[in-house]
Amino acid sequence: MKRIILYIRSGILNIWHFHSLSKKIVFGRNVNIEGNVTFGKKVILDDNVEVRNRTKEEATVGDFVSINRNTVIRGKVNIGESVSIAPNCMIIGANHHFEDTKKSIKEQGVKTKGIVIEPDVWIGANCCVLDGVTIGKGSIIGAGSIVTKTIPPMSIAVGNPCRVIKQRT
């Protein structure tokens, strides 16, 4: 019965967000999508996922992407196809301006370099990916890592700050 309710709710949300049933996106409970974001086909957005982009540039989520529960994606983030994002991740493709000490940080707005997550990447649970980073195709990011610099393709990277410990061959 729960599965039937999930499919009905997902169908309604596909029509609401995308005006179509063709994308076949699966929506968990309490999913929040805001701003300039486009989605590929067969995406899974688990419970409490937030995807928000208030920048002028488009954010994208590719085909066959799964974003697990309690994950927040904000700003200009481009996710390639077949990416798996484990629970409780923060992927933040923007940063606050803070140069003018006469204004509050909140008044100064945000800047964005953007984040690129290339195809076939697995990001482990409780990771944080910061603005300006590219994670190369086929890479694995270990649980709890904080990614502050670009990770080359086919890498296994872990830690705070995240660093490459091995290449996949």
Active-site residues: which are they?
Answer: 96
DSSP string, 103-129: S-TGGG-EE---EEE-SS-EE-TT-EE
> DSSP class of residue 58?
P
Distances (CA, A) of 33 to 36, 72, 75, 93, 104: 9, 10, 12, 15, 28
Cα angle, residue 125 at apex, residues 168 and 25 outer, rounded to 5°? 95
Is the CB of residue 139 less than 8 Å from the CB of residue 157? Answer: yes
